Amino acid sequence: MEPVIARAVLLQEQAETRELQASVVAEEPLEIRINGDPYAVIMRTPGHETELAAGFCFTEGIVDSFAQICSIGFCPEAAAGMQNIVNVIVSRSCAGQGGPSEATARSPRAMVSRSSCGLCGVEMLADVEKKVAPLPGGLLIAGGELYRMLGRMIELQEIYASTRAAHAAGLFYLEGEPLAVREDVGRHNALDKAIGHGLMRGLDFSRCVAVLSSRISFEMVQKALRARIPVVAAVSAATSLAVDLAGRCGCTLVGRVREHSMVIYTHPERVIP
């Protein structure tokens, strides 16, 4: 399946109407199975499915390392190009840690919606803090590098360039080297794909910056913390719960990154002007 497909549309410009073929970002369901049992159905843009599944399992806490994934790949049901089912075989030692025992007991309909506030948000913060140790300090990055990382990610957003409808997430080493830029109709999927890429290749996340084309929400910070990524930078702003979580867990959030300005929400000591 291609990430970009063509659709016939009508273009209206002032008094003129004409038909043309428009590039549209593809959106397809992906079923993730854990040890053969259905776990979640994700609406995603086709491409990098194994990275998405690996990143999802890691950031959701099903596994704590790639070593706990015995194998990952498309199911036999995904024949004839219908690559919409990925099965992740997880070590049984993960049971009770968000692994197979929990996965088989939770249906896709039970997945929690995480746009949270109030008491629910307080409970989620406490839950994440129990599972994520605070990040260490000492790491520094030049503010100018963040501008360059964002510009480089934009250059690599091929799907967005043709459709204007895809989010992106990039992983960069502190020196500015792009390690992975992934696009998807879902911002969470884009970050999971990038993290999954790093997980499968043994990248040192503690030396990485996550760059986002979207706002910085609670779940995006949670995913970064699971990977031990110390700096998250984004084109858009951060939410209150994201700021609270990052502040407590030692993650530097930088939002509204533009050509000559940025907003540092938490732990500004890492960013050199």
d(CA 5, CA 273): 43
Question: Is residue 53 within 8 Å of residue 196, measured between CB atoms?
Answer: yes
Closest by Cα among 160, 152, 167 to 220: 167
Side chain identity at residue 121, one-letter code: G
225: left (phi over 0), alpha (psi -120 to 50) or beta: alpha
**Set 117, 120, 249, 251: catalytic member:** 117
Which residue blocks in the chain are alpha helix, DSSP H? 49-59, 100-103, 118-131, 143-155, 158-163, 187-200, 218-226, 240-249
**CB-count burial class (<10 Å; 0-12, 13-18, 19+) for 67:** exposed
Catalytic, 117? Answer yes
d(CA 56, CA 36): 16
Known catalytic residues?
A: 117
